[in-house]
Structure formats: C-alpha cells, structure tokens
Amino acid sequence: MKAYMKNIFEKVYGDSEGVRVFFAPGRVNLIGEHTDYNGGHVFPCALTLGTYAAIRKRNDNLIHLYSENIPNCLVVERECGDYKIYNKSGAWSNYPYGIFWSLKEKGIDVKNGYDIVYYGDIPAGAGLSSSASIEVLTVYMLSVMEGFEMSLTDMAILGQYSENNYNKMNCGIMDQFTSAMGKDGHAVFLDTVTLEYEYAPLELKDKKIIIINSNVKHSLGSSKYNERRSESEAALAALQTELDIESLGDLTEEEFDNNQMLIKDDIQRKRAKHAVYENQRTIKAYNALKENDIDTFGKFMVDSHISLRDDYEVSCEELDVIVEEGLKCEGVIGIRMTGGGFGGSCVSIVETDKEEAVKKAIGDNYKKRTGREASFCSVLAGKGPYEL
C-alpha cells in the first residue's frame, strides 16, 4: 500500500521524495446502535479496511488535498488558517479541512503547508465510517508531522468535534473512538459517557462475521440522524420532569416501562424505548459473548434490528430484505443493520461452513426483491492509526 500511495502522490504532485504514508481504520458496529449520543454502550470493532494518506510538507502555507476515490478529482487548495467556509463543491475535503479547523480551535494552528493524497478502501456510504477514518487519520498524521502530543482518545474527541461543528453532523463518539482505539482481533465495549472501555477478543471458532453492503448510500442520513437525536433529547427532557437522570442510558427497561407515559409524544416515546432497550441489550450481548454464548449474542443482534426498524425507524426496505433473507438461511446466528442506517450495510455472524451458501442465498434473493446487487466482505478486526 505504501508504494501504491506514493504512486498516487507522484501522479498528483510530480514526485514522491520524502513522502510519508499513514492509515486509520473504518469500523463495523456489532451491537449498540444510536446509543452513543443517548448515554449508552456500543460494541464495535475497527476494520483492516480504512483510509490511507500520503503526505509531505510544502515550503509555503498552502494545504493541498486530493482524493483518489473521487472521479476526476481536482486538487483542493486552502491557505493555512483559512478553514472558515465549508466547501460545498469539494464536499469530501470538508472532513480533512474540518480537522485543521478543529485543531486551530483547540489552539494548534498548523502554519506549514502540506501536499496530501487520500485513498480509502471502504466503500463510501456503506455505513462503515469512512468519514471518521479520514478524521482520525488526519489528526494522527498531523500530530506526527507537526510534532504535537495528543492521546488517541483526544484524537477521537477532536474528530467528533469536527464532525459536529464543521460538518454539522451531530454524531456520537463511537466511530472516531473505534477508529482511534481499535485493536487487532478485538472489538471494543465502550461506555460512551465515561469513555471507559474493554477489549473483547473476537474468537468465534467455527463462525465468522461478515458485512453485507446493500449498496444503498445513506445520503439522507445526516438530516434524519440529527432529527432522531433531537427526538431522543425531547424524550429525555420529558422523563427528566419527574426522574433524576442524565441520559436515556441511565434507565433499565423496567424503569422506562414504568415511566414512559411521561413522554406524551408517541414518536418520541418509541425513540426513547429503542435507546433504553438497545443499551441494555448491548450490555447483555457483551456479557453473553464473554461467556462464549454466540447464539444469545446473535439473538440480541436480531432484536436490535427489529428495534431499529420499528421503534427508531432508521432502517430501510433494502436492509430489512437482507435481514429477512438472512434469517431464512441455515447457519445465520445473528444479523442486523449496522451504523447510522437509511442504507449502508448489515453485519452478520454466520457458521463458516455455511458462509458461501448464505451469501449466495442473500445475494440472489436481494437481487430478486430489490433489483440491486449486494456486496459481501469478511470482518477482520484491525488496529487504530499507524504509519506504514
């Protein structure tokens, strides 16, 4: 990959003398969806897929960005410090520039120009956090190039800050945290309030985790996402009129059931129910996995999907078809949509010896029912950012 990145750099900027190459991973969430901004738990793992960048200092104060993933991409240029305006035409460049901007906001003002090329092997819009990987990658490589100290957790927090305040997507911490803190062969069980976490080995013996991409891009995602977040916040405010809680993650299912009528709005009540139940489900699923009870883990995955579909309403027809077809297959232990929703991917645990048959059945039936092609990949849990 290093040679590949240097080649792109050479093509774009003329030569690749002194270029350094970095990587940060995407993620797949196993369970705990839309809980990270509701004071709950998540259980994702970083992937070996992600975003690469090749970078070199310039002798002036211009920051040049290029993406190999954008057809006919032109180099985007800005002067150091000039990040105020969100760039509508070069939309992808708002992720890296957002990091330069956020660093400046936090007192780290990059004064030296850079030539940078990006290339990602995560399909865009697949719900596997290509944007978080760009954010974590950018702050990580700048910390090396500029020589400032920042913990990986703080890099994740900066990435989220950038996404919230520059890209106006009110995401939680899950994606950036997983990209920054990923560990080979492990998933991360994270309390999104305290940021305390535990690594869990993903040793599934005769089973494996696969990702099924619906190839429906979750383009409506950010506006609907922000809407869900506001609905959850309104539900919390209604509960807080009587209950002394900080977030929906503070409630057990029973406490929620006993107090749900405080939420007068039917939609908001459904959103809150998902947040509470999904958080408790995530804790239980994590405990089941620790006890090697993969079947129970798989059942929780399916319950998670149903709740996301019916109560949180962030699934879509295509994701539901994949889950439905998956559940008809022998050897599927669990399956659900993963990530923000409205398109993107499903994640599934399957028996390894049934994998090919499962993929074929889901692929064929998905095509029949939606006219679309699904794509599949195996999950290899990878590590956080590094220099190649």
Contact code string over 127-166 relative to ligand GLA, x by CB under 6 A: ----------------------------------------
- Quick one: angle between helices 294-310 and 317-327, nearest 10? 150
Smallest gap, in angstroms, from Cβ of residue 232 to ligand GLA? 10
Cβ atoms 207, 352 nearer than 8 A: yes
- Nearest CB to ligand GLA, comparing residues 175 and 355: 175
Cβ atoms 15, 7 nearer than 8 A: no
User: CA 366, CA 12: separation in Å to the nearest integer?
Assistant: 40
Contact code string over 233-262 relative to ligand GLA, x by CB under 6 A: ------------------------------
Q: Is 33 in the site for ligand GLA (CB under 6 A)?
A: yes
Cβ atoms 78, 62 nearer than 8 A: yes
Residue 5: CB partners within 8 Å, gap ≥ 6? 19, 21, 52, 53, 54, 117, 119, 388
Q: For residue 281, how far is the Cα from the chain centroid? A: 19
Pairing of strands 207-213, 197-201: unpaired
- Nearest CB to ligand GLA, comparing residues 31 and 362: 31
Q: Is 36 in the site for ligand GLA (CB under 6 A)?
A: yes
Cβ atoms 24, 51 nearer than 8 A: yes
- Nearest CB to ligand GLA, comparing residues 98 and 339: 339
User: CA 224, CA 219: separation in Å to the nearest integer?
Assistant: 10
User: CA 73, CA 66: separation in Å to the nearest integer?
Assistant: 7
Contact code string over 167-186 relative to ligand GLA, x by CB under 6 A: ----xx-xx-----------
Specify the stretch interacting with ligand GLA by CB under 6 A; choose among 29-37, 54-62, 107-115, 254-262.
29-37
- Nearest CB to ligand GLA, comparing residues 36 and 351: 36
Residue 258: CB partners within 8 Å, gap ≥ 6? none
Smallest gap, in angstroms, from Cβ of residue 38 to ligand GLA? 9
Q: Which of 339, 343, 384, 385 binds ligand GLA (CB under 6 A)?
A: 339
With helix as H, strand as E and coil as C, how does 51-64 read? EEEEEEECCCCEEE
Return the amino acid letter for 126. A
Specify the stretch interacting with ligand GLA by CB under 6 A; choose among 32-40, 101-109, 349-357, 374-382.
32-40
Give me the DSSP letters along 192-256: TTT--EEEEE---TTEEEEEEE------SHHHHHHHHHHHHHHHHHHHHTT---SSGGG--HHHH
Catalytic residue among 115, 175, 303, 311: 175
Smallest gap, in angstroms, from Cβ of residue 104 to ligand GLA? 23
Residue 72's CB is within 10 A of a number of other CB atoms, namely: 4
Specify the stretch interacting with ligand GLA by CB under 6 A; choose among 33-41, 102-110, 180-188, 370-378.
33-41
Smallest gap, in angstroms, from Cβ of residue 8 to ligand GLA? 27
Q: Is 278 in the site for ligand GLA (CB under 6 A)?
A: no
- Nearest CB to ligand GLA, comparing residues 36 and 250: 36
User: CA 271, CA 359: separation in Å to the nearest integer?
Assistant: 32
For residue 175, indicate whether it is catalytic: yes
How many binding residues for ligand GLA (CB under 6 A)?
A: 11
- Nearest CB to ligand GLA, comparing residues 129 and 365: 129
- Nearest CB to ligand GLA, comparing residues 175 and 318: 175
Residues annotated catalytic, as ranges: 175
Residues that bind ligand GLA (CB under 6 A): 29, 33-34, 36-37, 171-172, 174-175, 339-340
